[in-house]
């Protein structure tokens, strides 16, 4: 009986994963970025429309204060001056609430907004949600959004250690192509 239990659990989890991905909209370069309004760790409402005219790096991550998420957030923090010089705004999004974001942000001195998508609707609109019915979290996906609000670059299955370096390089190329740097 025990030998059957593990394969059955794995099969059921696979069905949940596949079904959660089936309804996810697959955004691609050139698409308009889905609009949103979310609260950050300071309980300020941040909207995508208010970022028009700027390059936005919108990164989704699973959970505050976990190893990969901390690595990625601290890498954005450590490179924030370079990213600002590239005229980029960094926005992190997870399904954690504003209090969790505040504690995470203060602990690691993160100088950018962490947005609380507690119902996962924004992550879903970006195809970046994993909903297993009993637990829901954002997938580690990122998007560069151009000053007009279009998706300029999509990153799926991000490596937290390398991601920021790749984003900065791609941002530089995109800005040269668009003559906005």
Residue 75 structure tokens = 């890498």
**109-165 pLDDT, tens digit each:** 999 999 999 999 999 999 999 988 888 999 999 999 999 999 999 999 899 999 999
What whole-number distance in Å separates Cα of residue 112 and Cα of residue 26? 26
CB 38 within 8 A of CB 93: yes
**pLDDT level of residue 19 (50, 70, 90 thresholds):** very low
Residue tagged active-site, from 57, 69, 144, 167: 69
Is 46:38 a contact under the CB 8 Å cutoff?
yes
The verdict on pTM exceeding 0.75 is yes
**Scanning the structure block, which residue is given the tokens 């507690």?**
118
CA angle (122, 117, 52) in 5-degree steps: 55
Q: Which domains does the chain have, with CATH numbers?
A: 2-177 (3.40.30.10)
Q: State yes or no: is 69 an active-site residue.
A: yes
Q: Give the Cα separation of 100 and 40 in Å (integer).
A: 10
33-90 tens-digit pLDDT: 999 999 999 999 999 999 999 999 999 999 999 999 999 999 999 999 999 999 999 9
**Distance in angstroms (rounded) separating the CA atoms of residues 137 and 123:** 9
């Amino acid at each position: 009986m025990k030998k059957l239990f593990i394969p059955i659990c794995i099969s059921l989890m696979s069905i949940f994963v596949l079904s959660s991905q089936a309804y996810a909209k697959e955004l691609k370069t050139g698409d308009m970025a889905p609009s949103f309004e979310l609260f950050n760790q300071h309980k300020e409402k941040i909207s995508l429309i208010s970022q028009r005219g700027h390059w936005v790096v919108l990164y989704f991550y699973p959970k505050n204060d976990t190893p990969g998420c901390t690595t990625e957030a601290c890498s954005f923090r450590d490179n924030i001056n370079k990213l600002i010089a590239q005229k980029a705004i960094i926005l992190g999004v997870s399904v954690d609430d504003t209090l969790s974001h505040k504690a995470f942000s203060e602990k690691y001195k993160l100088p950018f907004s962490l947005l609380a998508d507690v119902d996962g609707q924004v992550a879903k609109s970006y195809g970046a949600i994993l909903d297993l019915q009993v637990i829901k979290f954002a997938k580690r996906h990122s998007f560069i959004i151009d000053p007009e609000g279009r998706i300029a670059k999509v990153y799926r299955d991000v490596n937290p250690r390398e991601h920021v370096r790749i984003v900065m390089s791609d941002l530089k190329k995109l800005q040269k192509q668009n003559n906005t740097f």
